[in-house]
Homo-oligomer: A and B are copies of this chain.
Amino acid sequence: MPDAVRIACCQLVPDIDHPVASAAQARAALADAIRAGAQIVVLPELCTSGYAFSSAAEARAVAEPASGPLLRSWAQEAAHTGAVVIGGFCELADDGRVFNSAALVDASGVRAVYRKLHLWDREPRWFSPGEDPAPVVPTRFGKIGIGVCYDIEFPELTRGLALGGAQLIALPANWPREPPPPGRPMPALQLLAQETASISRVYVAACDRGGSERGLAFQGASVIAAPDGAILSAAEPAMADSETTAQRLLADCDLTTALDKRTGQAGL
């Protein structure tokens, strides 16, 4: 695969009570992935702050501006090899609002910030909903669309990214653990990634988190899916009482295949 780009999902286990350590863990995983040849690295949702806040004040206390040192540190890692990083962070906006955001960062700095549109469960207690559409960002490897976690349950959003030219949808996630129902072969996030990929003929790299936090267990179901619906790499998710851990997925992907939307033979 001569034109392949190596995509990594760095599934992490942030510690909500130690955001500085969580940020260091994310940066180390990013650096490791780049050393392993990854050119596009996806990190989880809220990967430095943790997820299960107990108050809006707690979320605000760990929120940081997109122009701050966190994303600058990702850009510094990316600059070593010209990599592209997509990761979730707790964003403090200029106007004081707090968002559940994901940034796309490369050597030049912050290329895009997406503020999660579909807030799930308790998230509206801590976050303002985004007001702008999910972006498609041209990069040296191709066009990358960005969503966050629950967004993937809305085909309007993912189809919109594909219609906007996205060859890869990068999806930082914090997916709570739920066993798949009988008759369904895989956990929700992996099924949704597979179906999003196959329906719109794009790559999907969903980077989940593992572990649990204040009674909320996460699925740890990171996955990289191809435009034909093939699962290229998938974390073994938590199914019962086991806890998922940090791990890294890698897949070499020819993003040009996502430009070919034909199905079946050419018969006419």
Instruction: Name A's B-contacting residues (CB within 8 A).
Output: 120-122, 124-125, 150, 153, 155-156, 159, 176, 180-186, 188, 191-192, 194-195, 198-200, 226, 228-232, 263-265, 267-268
User: Is the Cβ of B183 less than 8 Å from the Cβ of A230?
Assistant: yes
User: Is the Cβ of B264 less than 8 Å from the Cβ of A199?
Assistant: no
User: Is the Cβ of B155 less than 8 Å from the Cβ of A155?
Assistant: yes
20 residue pairs A–B, Cβ–Cβ below 8 Å: A121-B267, A121-B268, A153-B199, A155-B155, A180-B229, A181-B229, A183-B231, A184-B194, A184-B229, A184-B230, A185-B186, A188-B198, A188-B229, A191-B194, A191-B198, A192-B195, A192-B198, A194-B195, A195-B195, A195-B198
Residue of B nearest to A198 (CB): B191
User: Is the Cβ of A199 less than 8 Å from the Cβ of B194?
Assistant: no
**Docked complex Cα distance between A44 and B193 (Å):** 29
**Docked complex Cα distance between A101 and B229 (Å):** 28
A113 to chain B, nearest CB (A): 25
**Docked complex Cα distance between A192 and B263 (Å):** 13
A161 to chain B, nearest CB (A): 13
Known pairs A122-B268, A155-B159; A195 contacts B191 (CB<8 A): yes
